[in-house]
Amino acid sequence: MQEQTTNDHKTLEFTPEVEHLTQPFYDRIKHVMPDVEWPIHAPVIAAINELKKTRNAIIMAHNYQTPEIFYGVGDITGDSLALAQRGAKIDAEVIVMCGVKFMAETAKILSPEKTVLLPDLSAGCSLAESITGADVRKLGEQYPGVPVVTYVNAYADVRAEADICCTSGNAVKIVESLNTDRVIFVPDGYLGRYVAQQTDVEVILWEGACEVHERFTADELRGYRNNFPGIHIVAHPECPPDVLSEADFVGSTAGMIDHIGTERPKQVVMVTECSMSDHVAIKYPDVDFIRPCNLCPHMKYITLPKILLALQTLEPQIEVDEDTAERARRSLERMLAV
C-alpha cells in the first residue's frame, strides 16, 4: 500500500475506497500516465475533491496543467479567459486557480467577492513579467492618442492602463474593431507580428515573449516533417514567425483543439506547451500525437499537494486593489462587448 504525506502531516493512503472513487479519472488518462504514478496521485485527488465540498470551492485548471490536475480535480478547464469568465458565473465562495498569477488576478477582477487562491505564488509568467503599467503609460506618452491593446496574458496593472484586452483567438478582430490606423500592442511581440500580418492596421509592438513558445524553431518543425512524412503541424501564434510559416494551421489554444477535432489528422505536432498535447490526445485517442515537449516551468509549480494545502489553509490569496481592478475590468468588458 502506497502512502503520501501532505504538509499538514496527515497521511493519505491508496485504500480500496480511494481507488474506487478515483477510478473514473484514471480510466480517462491512463494511456498518458504510467500505472505506477496513479497510487501516488489518487489519495490527494480524493482528499481535494472532498475538501472542495466543505469549502464551497471550485478548481480552475488551465490547459497547461498536468493530466492528474486537469482531469482529476479540475471543475472548470480551458484557456485563461474562459476560466475566469465561467468562474464568475459559478455559485462558489472559493476559486482555486491552477494556472499562473495573471490568471488568478483575472479571476479576482471578475469575481471580487470570492476568495481566489493560487497554490504557489511562484507561478508567474515570462510574458506578463516583461511589461509594467508604467511601461504602458510611457508608450502612451510616446504615441499620444494611439489606443493600447493588451493580450490578456498580462498583469492587472498593465490591463488597467490599456484601452482594451484581447485573446490570441480574437486579437485581429479586436484590433480592427477600434477603427484606427494604428494601435499599440502589448506585451507579446510574436502575437503582435502575427496580428499585423492579418490586418492593414499598423501595429506598434512591445517585444515580450513566452519562454515556452519562443524556444520552437523552424528547423525543428522541418525535422518533424522529414521524420514523419504527412504529419500535420498546428502552432500557437505566440511562436516566432518562421515557426508559424512552417505550420499547417495557426490558432489559439481553443482553435487548435477545434481544428484537430474537425480535421482528425493521422499524426500531429502541437507547437505549444506539451501538457496540452496530453489533454487533446485524451480527447481524440484516434490521433497520434508527436510531442515536442516544451514545458512551462511556471505552470508546473502547481501540484496536487499544493492545491490540497491551499484548500486547507485558504492561502495564498490573490488580491487586486480596487482602483486597478476597476480599470482592468473595463478593458476586459470592452473586449467582451466586441
Q: For 150-174, write each residue's pLDDT tens digit.
A: 999 999 999 999 999 999 989 999 9
The Cα diameter of the chain in Å comes to 66
Distance between CA atoms of 87 and 318, rounded to whole angstroms? 15
Distance between CA atoms of 132 and 135, rounded to whole angstroms? 5
Smallest CA-to-CA distance from 241 within 173, 192, 293, 169 is with 192
Which residue is listed with cell 512552417?
246
Q: Which amino acid is at 199?
A: T
Q: Domain 3-125+299-313: state its class.
A: alpha beta
Strand partners, 204: 184
DSSP 3-state assignment of 13?
A: strand
Q: Domain 213-289: state its class.
A: alpha beta
Which residue is listed with cell 477582477?
109
Residue 184 cell numbers, joined: 499599440
Q: Which amino acid is at 193?
A: R
Residue 12 cell numbers, joined: 493519505
Question: Domain residue spans in the chain?
Answer: 3-125+299-313, 128-210, 213-289
Tell me whether domains 3-125+299-313 and 128-210 share a fold.
yes
Smallest CA-to-CA distance from 79 within 257, 218, 233, 217 is with 257
DSSP 290: P
Q: What is the pLDDT of residue 2?
A: 43
Smallest CA-to-CA distance from 158 within 127, 116, 179 is with 127
Cα pseudo-dihedral 183, 254, 328, 135, rounded to 10: -50
Q: What is the pLDDT of residue 187?
A: 98
Percent of the chain scored above 70 by pLDDT? 97
pTM for the structure as a whole? 0.90
Distance between CA atoms of 144 and 1, rounded to whole angstroms? 66
Q: What are phi and psi of 111, to 5 degrees?
A: -135, 65
Distance between CA atoms of 205 and 208, rounded to whole angstroms? 9
Residues of the chain with pLDDT under 50: 1-9
Smallest CA-to-CA distance from 213 within 276, 258, 257, 285 is with 276
Q: Domain 128-210: state its class.
A: alpha beta
